[in-house]
Amino acid sequence: MMKKLLFTALSVIVVNAQLFAQQSVELAPTPPMGWNTWNTFQTNIDEPLLKGMVDAYISSGMRDAGYIYFVLDDGWMTMERDSNGQLVADPKKFPNGMKAFADYVHSKGMKFGIYNCAGTKTCAGYPGTRGHEYEDARLYASWGVDYLKYDWCNTDSLNAREAYITMSMALKATGRPIVFSLCEWGNHQPWLWAKGVGQLYRTTGDIYAGFDKNLSKGTWTALSVLSILDKQVNIRQYAGPGHWNDPDMLEVGNGMSFIEDRAHFSLWCMLAAPLMAGNDLRKMSDQTKSILTNKDAIAIDQDPLGVEGFRYSSADSLETWIRPLSNGDLAVCFLNRSVQPINVSYDWATHVIQDKISNTDVDFTKITYKLHDLWTKKDVGTTKKAFKQSIASHDVVLLRLSK
Ligand code: GLA
């Protein structure tokens, strides 16, 4: 009898785990793409500004390029819950309420995301969700929320895995499919436990629009593109359809050079990173637009195989990143980390690409690939000949190799 009960309980757990993993894949078969308020506006958000942003999202071609989520980060609510313990959208910022704004986003063919925090307060000091998980989840579902970013400030001794599982269960209990974005900065190695809990999990602290140097903010350090990149190296085996490593949102268009922005975007595509833009879409330059809406680069990011790229080699500030793609294609990204230009001369015949995670085994002496440069949009020969090019400081060459 005891054995039978135990067997039944274990079966329920296994079936539930499989079901959650399956739901996760359906919610995010490829890394989520969207736009988030934080990197440009912090808590200075309101309905008129954001309606303008929704309109620019569409007129700029972002939605057509595949970006779908429109996410409000910290700062959307009042400083206190109401007398029933409910969160309230700040009536000065959102005079028509949050449901009306969510409806606006949906009416434009996009999905709506919102933010809160596992702690007692959000990072900016607004009411956190601790102890209110189920009622907050119900409220979001009633507004039509499709995506929740869930932060990790003011959590004291909370157990991260338990706190995120609680919120995940609360979201599931609403019956509404809601993408769950874990944002505990990689402190508790979410890649080891968050598969099936949420669909993306931050792997590092906050990014800022700097390419190679971190920036001290007093009590914390904002991370550069390269320093975030280096933190991704040993965790690629934990990412895949429905569970993505999240190296933080994009800073494209927020102050780095065009070349650095292009490198940042290329590398995030190599990493199968969620692509959450964070620039002012109303004022986006043509150069910024050409990066964010580069369909060939986005196709690398969104490749259905869902295998994260890896650093194949690194020498004298020149790195080669490789990402196995569906149909046996490969993405190759040469990155110049230095402040000087570098001449790359890459003789494919002397390289064998082996990757256990994707069962990739490519010997260029036995198979020939065509090379297509995804930024110049030109065919640049085949793997029969060495690839030779000068790469500017902080720039990349992003190639798609196809048979
Ligand atoms: C943390 C997160 C950021 C942003 C802010 C909001 O720092 O990591 O991405 O959400 O909080 O306060």
- pLDDT tens, position by position, 115-127: 999 999 999 999 9
Dist. CA 151 → ligand 1 center (Å): 7
pLDDT at 34: 99
Does ligand 1 lie within 6 Å of residue 222's CB atom?
A: no
Phi-psi group of 123: left, alpha or beta (phi > 0 → left; psi -120 to 50 → alpha; rest → beta): alpha
Structure tokens at 207: 């990014």
Tell me the mean pLDDT in the region 287-311: 98
In degrees and rounded to multiples of 5, residue 226 shows phi and psi of -70, -35
Express as a percent the part of the chain with pLDDT over 90. 94
- Out of 35, 36, 37, 38, give the residue to mutate to test ligand 1, the one with the largest number of ligand atoms within 8 Å of its CB: 38
Does ligand 1 lie within 6 Å of residue 124's CB atom?
A: yes
Catalytic residues: 151, 206
pLDDT at 2: 63
pLDDT at 13: 57
CA–CA dist 363, 366 (Å, integer): 6
pTM (two decimals): 0.96
CA–CA dist 50, 44 (Å, integer): 10
Tell me the mean pLDDT in the region 79-86: 98
Residue appearing with tokens 């980060």: 73
pLDDT at 11: 63
pLDDT at 342: 98
pLDDT at 362: 98
Range in 21-30, 269-278, 338-347 with the lowest mean pLDDT: 21-30
Residue nearest to atom 12 of ligand 1 (CA): 123
Is a pLDDT exceeding 90 seen at residue 18?
no
Does ligand 1 lie within 6 Å of residue 251's CB atom?
A: no
CA–CA dist 308, 330 (Å, integer): 12
Q: Quick one: angle between helices 97-107 and 47-59, nearest 10? A: 10
Does ligand 1 lie within 6 Å of residue 299's CB atom?
A: no
What pLDDT band is residue 22 in, cutting at 50, 70 and 90? confident
pLDDT at 337: 98
- Span 175-230, pLDDT tens digits: 999 999 999 999 999 999 999 999 999 999 999 999 999 999 999 999 999 999 99
Phi-psi group of 253: left, alpha or beta (phi > 0 → left; psi -120 to 50 → alpha; rest → beta): left
Tell me the mean pLDDT in the region 236-241: 98
**CB-hemisphere CA count at 13 Å for 299?**
14
Is a pLDDT exceeding 80 seen at residue 4?
no
Structure tokens at 203: 């792997």
* C-alpha R_g of the chain: 22
Does ligand 1 lie within 6 Å of residue 74's CB atom?
A: yes
CA 134 and chain centroid, separation: 26
pLDDT at 5: 62
What pLDDT band is residue 395 in, cutting at 50, 70 and 90? very high
pLDDT at 10: 59
- Out of 42, 123, 150, 152, give the residue to mutate to test ligand 1, the one with the largest number of ligand atoms within 8 Å of its CB: 123
pLDDT at 55: 98
Residue nearest to atom 9 of ligand 1 (CA): 206
pLDDT at 23: 87
pLDDT at 176: 98
Domains (ranges, CATH) in the chain?
15-301 (3.20.20.70), 310-402 (2.60.40.1180)
pLDDT at 302: 98
Buried b (16+ CB within 10 A) or exposed e, 65-99: ebbbbbbbbbbbbeeebeeeeebbbbeebbeeebb
